[in-house]
């Protein structure tokens, strides 16, 4: 398993955990303004980003850190992540006005929740795309 | 200048003109009707959608190679840059009202489609900027 796969597994675990936290918070939050407590989870994002950088750090001078295939896989995963996030953004922005009507209003606390869910979906899709392209198993990719 | 550069330049000019016009409109409306309604002046940003007609204006070249690996790489990079700008815009559009109004207040549901439109415009603008930056801004060097 190479470094990109390790960091993708880490990202997958983190995003799954954060998704569970998000769904639990949405179900439990009464009143809805308590959803803003989700902001307290933002350090988890920072921590995951730092750990991903740490895991991706080159560990030896005699090893090739990244080749053309790796950069192609990374670029494709980025495109998949951006596309899925864009799909979520379109649905989240265009469906509520049609359901509730243009004169209604929404709690402001839903906006950070939207941003939070976009980040989670981005990390989740990126990690899944990386793992799907390299292969999910340990064999075949050396460090 | 090739077709992609011409379309990108059209997008940049149209978006900047629309932004300038909407700022003027907001300033005029602010004097006439006050602040919340003055923001309607930003509807003029929709004029940047006129750049969507540029593929009809700049026709594809016939009998030539119209897209090689370098062009595809440039477009991919520009796409990633555009997406990054769009999500930065979404981040700001979500967090600024939260910090200004507070979590207990409500906001009009029309804010959501506006976030989407703004993200689309910022994506198209930065996409065009990156295209122009990578091909070069001048006419020489790229044959149409």
The per-residue pLDDT string of chain A (143 residues; one tens digit each, 9 = 90 and over) reads 777 788 888 888 888 887 787 777 777 766 666 666 666 666 666 666 666 666 665 656 666 667 788 888 888 898 899 889 989 999 998 888 888 887 888 888 888 888 888 888 888 899 899 989 887 766 555 55
A93–B103 C-beta distance less than 8 A: no
**What is the nearest CA distance from B76 to chain A, expressed in angstroms?**
9
Using a CB-CB distance cutoff of 8 angstroms, which residues of chain B are in contact with residue A86? 83, 86
Query: For the whole model, what pTM was predicted?
Result: 0.79
Handedness of CA B73, A123, B88, A87 (dihedral sign): positive
CA dist., res. B114 & res. B108, Å (int): 11
In sequence order, what are the residues at sequence separation of 6 or more whose Cβ sits closer than 8 angstroms to the Cβ of residue A73? A4, A130, A133, A134
Task: Give the burial string for B54-78 (b: 16+ CB within 10 Å, else e).
Answer: beeebeeeeeeeeeeeebeebbebb
**Chain A contact for B12 (CB, 8 A cutoff):** no
pLDDT one-digit tens code per residue, B75-118: 888 998 999 899 899 999 988 888 888 877 888 888 888 898 88
* Cβ contact A111–B95 (<8 Å): yes
Of residues B80, B86, B110, nearest to A78 (C-beta): B80
Pairing of strands B106-108, A105-107: antiparallel
Check if B113 contacts A (Cβ < 8 Å): yes
Mutation for testing the A interface, residue in B82, B87, B92, B109 having most A CBs under 10 Å: B109
Residues of B in contact with A101 (CB under 8 A): 109
- This model of the complex carries an ipTM of 0.73
């Amino acid at each position: 398993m190479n470094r990109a796969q390790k960091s993708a597994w880490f990202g997958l675990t983190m995003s799954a955990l954060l998704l569970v936290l998000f769904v639990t918070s949405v179900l439990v939050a009464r009143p809805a303004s308590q959803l803003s407590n989700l902001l307290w989870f933002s350090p988890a994002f920072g921590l995951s980003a730092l750990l991903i950088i740490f895991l991706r750090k080159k560990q030896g001078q005699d090893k090739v850190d990244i080749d053309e295939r790796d950069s192609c896989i990374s670029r494709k995963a980025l495109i998949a992540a951006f596309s899925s996030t864009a799909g979520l953004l379109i649905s989240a922005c265009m469906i509520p006005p049609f359901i509730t009507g243009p004169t209604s209003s929404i709690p402001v606390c839903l906006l950070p929740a939207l941003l939070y869910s976009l980040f989670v979906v981005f990390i989740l899709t990126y990690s899944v795309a990386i793992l799907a392209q390299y292969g999910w198993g340990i064999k075949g990719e050396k460090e | 200048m090739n077709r992609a550069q011409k379309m990108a330049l059209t997008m940049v000019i149209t978006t900047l003109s629309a932004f300038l016009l909407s700022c003027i409109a907001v300033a005029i409306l602010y004097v006439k009707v006050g602040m919340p309604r003055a923001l309607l002046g930003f509807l003029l940003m929709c004029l940047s959608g006129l750049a969507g007609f540029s593929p009809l204006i700049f026709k594809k070249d016939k009998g030539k190679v119209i897209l090689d690996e370098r062009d595809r790489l440039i477009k991919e990079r520009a796409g990633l840059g555009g997406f990054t700008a769009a999500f930065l815009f979404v981040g700001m559009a979500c967090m600024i009202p939260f910090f200004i109004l507070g979590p207990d207040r409500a906001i009009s549901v029309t804010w959501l489609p506006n976030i989407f439109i703004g993200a689309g415009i910022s994506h198209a603008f930065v996409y065009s900027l990156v295209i122009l930056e990578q091909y070069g801004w001048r006419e020489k060097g790229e044959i149409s």
